[in-house]
């Protein structure tokens, strides 16, 4: 099989193969890469070189040019200028197929799997020669062997939709290995993983580089970069800031390289302590809800949220966080329970009723659920307020007001974009989140439900978003912060609830909340875990 033989992988691409006598220093070298998009220079003379047998991290804020660079290396974009060399030979990729044939594999943040196919069938689909039913049986043995070798155990006969996100990622890795990828690019691979799964992934990556493969690890999480990589190339504003040995620098050094200044996360300062005697802003009682497959996802959840309180909801992904947030914000009708805001009951299962009661929502999938990507910033900003003056008079939109309002929000929330008419899809992740927060804050909510509000954002944007959440609490609003990022929960919350299999299994004041204690609760209390 074509699994591990680099020469064969090259030959399969039909490229002329000069057999390298001695291995060159750099497996991949990209020099002077320039890629322009209308109005933006995404890569402005980027230099990048990764050696054989190393994990090379590509670190940078959102919009720094990491994705563009990896899309060029995988053949999705063609660079306007610059050269790409593999093992010292210049290459041109006209399509992702060329890059794959040359041994470059990519694991995208969003997986490219067929959910109704088995693991083996998905891998067979990726086979450059195509594979029949009979060979699939061989493939199963190969997969079992590869799984054992790299720590990527997955049942080859399982259907992909039945697998956890972490297991699906393993399938993507197996696919790339099966195609003989010598250079593997992973785009923020840990964003979807639990801390334990992430640790397991790091072991796998080390095993892969130990046998001479090259791993390019795209991330903006400093501690991960520190934990897994040998060297780091830092990008900022489309340019290479530098390449450093990971061992020689601290996370603070890396943060400074990435943003050009010091950034430290610490426990947020609060203007007022929460008054435990104050009447609760929101009271949730015995709420149960089912997920989209009709299975129970939230079981009898109940809690109170006080004015000025940031209430963290911790839990491993898939333990009912999404359904709880949707039940509270009216996106999903609970099967039981009640919700009160300011003492009066909220009609359940209606987004409008939740809005009217003063519940604002920053959803997990901010770009597609929260906003309409191809509409302008201005249209998105009025999407919840268009019905009333001053955004509209009778049936007519007041376009002047809408533009002014959007421009004002953009400056207040530091949204960086050419103007209020810019479609939201052209914004970077941080700016998208700021548009959404601006819109939700503009309705003067009593309660803000924020789901993973900083996931995927760069350091600067994380700071801004956290500051806004703290500010909301200081203004006397209640904030329900749902996040899988323990560090974030610990940094912001006054009190932490832990969800496990849809139940609230812990209610811990900030003073007693440690990563260890929460980690134990998140794992159902049954197993002792080493978290954080």
Partner 1 sequence: MKLQFAERPERSLARQVILPLAAVVVTLGITSTAVVGAGANPLTAFRKILFTPLSSRFGWFEMLVSATPLILTGTAVVVAFSCGYYSIGAEGQLTAGAITATWVGIRLGGWPTPLAIVAMVGAGALGGVLWALPPALLRVRFGIDEVVTTLLLNPVATLVVSGLLNGPWRNSTTHYPESDPIAGPARLPRLFDRSRLHLGLILAVAVAVAVWFVLSRTVTGLRARAIGQAAHAARFAGLRVERTMLGAALASGAIAGLAGMNDVAGTQFKLSEGLADGKGYTGIVIATLAGLTIVGVVGGAILLGLVKMGSTSASRSLGVPSQIAEIITGCLLLVTVALMVLKRYRIRLVRGGGRR
Residue 49's DSSP bridge partners are 29
Q: Return the structure tokens found at 422.
A: 């810019």
Give 23 or 373: the residue with its C-beta nearer to partner 1. 373
Query: What is the C-alpha to C-alpha distance for residues 37 and 77, in angstroms, rounded to an integer?
Result: 11
- Residue 331 has phi, psi (to 5 degrees) of -75, -25
In Å, the largest CA–CA distance within the chain is: 78
Minimal distance, residue 391 CB to partner 1, in Å: 8
Binding segment (CB under 8 A) for partner 1, from list 154-162, 265-273, 286-294, 394-402: 394-402
Q: How far is CA 170 from CA 6, 128, 198, 248, in A?
A: 21, 19, 11, 31
273, HSE (Cβ side, Cα atoms, 13 Å): 6
Binding segment (CB under 8 A) for partner 1, from list 26-34, 172-180, 251-259, 380-388: 380-388
| Eight-class DSSP state of 37 | E
Alpha-carbon 73 to chain mean position: 21
Q: Is 399 in the site for partner 1 (CB under 8 A)?
A: yes
Query: What is the C-alpha to C-alpha distance for residues 10 and 26, in angstroms, rounded to an integer?
Result: 16
Q: Indicate which single residue of 154, 382, 459, 518 sits in contact with partner 1 (rule: CB under 8 A).
A: 382
Q: Indicate which single residue of 116, 141, 250, 374 sits in contact with partner 1 (rule: CB under 8 A).
A: 374
Q: Indicate which single residue of 179, 355, 466, 477 sits in contact with partner 1 (rule: CB under 8 A).
A: 355
Query: What is the C-alpha to C-alpha distance for residues 468 and 471, in angstroms, rounded to an integer?
Result: 5
Contact 244, 303 (CB under 8 A): no
User: Which residues from 91-110 bind partner 1, rule CB under 8 A?
Assistant: 92
Contact 349, 334 (CB under 8 A): yes
Q: Indicate which single residue of 361, 405, 434, 455 sits in contact with partner 1 (rule: CB under 8 A).
A: 361
Q: Indicate which single residue of 21, 130, 132, 395 sits in contact with partner 1 (rule: CB under 8 A).
A: 395
Give 15 or 127: the residue with its C-beta nearer to partner 1. 15
Minimal distance, residue 372 CB to partner 1, in Å: 4
Q: Return the structure tokens found at 175.
A: 């696919």
Under rule CB under 8 A, how many of the chain's residues touch partner 1? 30
Q: What angle do CA 356, 280, 503 make, to 5 degrees?
A: 90
Query: What is the C-alpha to C-alpha distance for residues 424 and 445, in angstroms, rounded to an integer?
Result: 23
Q: Return the structure tokens found at 226.
A: 């520190």
Q: Is 384 in the site for partner 1 (CB under 8 A)?
A: yes
Binding track, positions 45-84, relative to partner 1; x by CB under 8 A: --------------------------------x-------
Query: What is the C-alpha to C-alpha distance for residues 284 and 302, in angstroms, rounded to an integer?
Result: 5
Give 182 or 361: the residue with its C-beta nearer to partner 1. 361
Q: Indicate which single residue of 180, 238, 308, 370 sits in contact with partner 1 (rule: CB under 8 A).
A: 370
Give 156 or 445: the residue with its C-beta nearer to partner 1. 445
Binding track, positions 16-45, relative to partner 1; x by CB under 8 A: ---------------------xx-------
Q: Which residues make up the interface to partner 1 (CB under 8 A)?
A: 37-38, 77, 92, 330-331, 351-352, 355, 361, 363, 368-375, 379, 382-384, 386-387, 392, 395-397, 399
């Amino acid at each position: 099989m074509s699994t591990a033989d680099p020469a064969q992988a090259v030959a399969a691409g039909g490229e002329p193969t000069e057999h390298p006598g001695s291995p060159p220093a750099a497996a991949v070298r990209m020099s002077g890469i320039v890629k322009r998009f209308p109005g933006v220079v995404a890569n402005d003379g980027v230099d990048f070189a990764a050696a054989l047998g190393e994990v090379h991290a590509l670190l940078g804020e959102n919009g720094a040019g990491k994705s563009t660079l990896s899309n060029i290396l995988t053949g999705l974009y063609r660079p306007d200028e610059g050269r790409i060399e593999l093992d010292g030979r210049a290459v041109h990729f006209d399509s992702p197929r060329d890059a794959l044939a040359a041994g470059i594999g990519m694991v995208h943040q969003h997986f490219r799997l067929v959910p109704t196919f088995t693991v083996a069938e998905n891998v067979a689909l990726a086979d450059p020669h195509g594979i029949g039913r009979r060979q699939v049986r061989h493939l199963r043995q190969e997969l079992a062997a590869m799984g054992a070798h790299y720590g990527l155990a997955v049942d080859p006969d399982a259907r992909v939709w039945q697998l956890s996100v972490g297991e699906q990622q393993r399938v993507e890795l197996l696919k790339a290995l099966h195609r003989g990828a010598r250079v593997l690019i992973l785009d923020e691979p840990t964003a979807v993983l639990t801390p334990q799964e992430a640790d397991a992934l790091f072991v796998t990556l080390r095993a892969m580089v130990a046998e001479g493969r090259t791993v390019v690890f795209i991330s903006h999480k400093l501690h991960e970069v520190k934990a897994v990589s040998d060297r780091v190339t830092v990008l900022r504003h489309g340019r290479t800031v530098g390449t450093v040995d990971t061992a020689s620098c601290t996370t603070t050094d890396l943060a400074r390289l990435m943003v050009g200044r010091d950034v430290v996360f610490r426990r947020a300062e609060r203007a007022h302590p929460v008054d435990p005697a104050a009447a609760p802003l929101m009271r949730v009682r015995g709420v149960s809800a089912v997920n989209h497959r009709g299975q129970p996802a939230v079981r009898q959840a109940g809690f109170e949220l006080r004015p000025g309180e940031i209430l963290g909801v911790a839990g491993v992904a898939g333990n009912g966080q999404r359904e709880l947030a949707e039940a509270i914000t009216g996106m999903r009708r609970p099967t039981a329970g009640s919700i009160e805001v300011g003492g009066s009951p909220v009609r359940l299962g209606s987004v409008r009723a939740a809005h009217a009661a003063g519940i604002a929502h920053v959803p997990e999938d901010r770009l597609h659920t929260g906003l309409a990507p191809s509409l302008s910033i201005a249209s998105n900003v009025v999407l919840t307020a268009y019905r009333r003056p001053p955004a509209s008079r009778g049936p007519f939109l007041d376009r002047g007001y809408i533009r002014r309002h959007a421009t004002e929000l953009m400056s207040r929330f530091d949204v960086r974009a050419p103007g209020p008419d810019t479609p939201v899809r052209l914004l970077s992740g941080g700016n998208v989140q700021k548009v959404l927060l601006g819109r939700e804050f503009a309705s003067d909510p009593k309660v803000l439900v924020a789901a993973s509000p900083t996931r995927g954002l760069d350091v600067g944007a994380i700071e801004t978003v956290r500051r806004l959440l703290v500010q909301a609490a200081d203004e006397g609003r209640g904030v329900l912060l749902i996040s899988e990022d323990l560090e974030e929960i610990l940094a912001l919350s006054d009190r932490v609830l832990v969800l496990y299999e849809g139940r609230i299994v812990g209610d811990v004041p900030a003073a007693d909340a440690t990563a260890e204690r929460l980690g134990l609760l998140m794992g159902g209390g049954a197993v002792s875990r080493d978290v954080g």
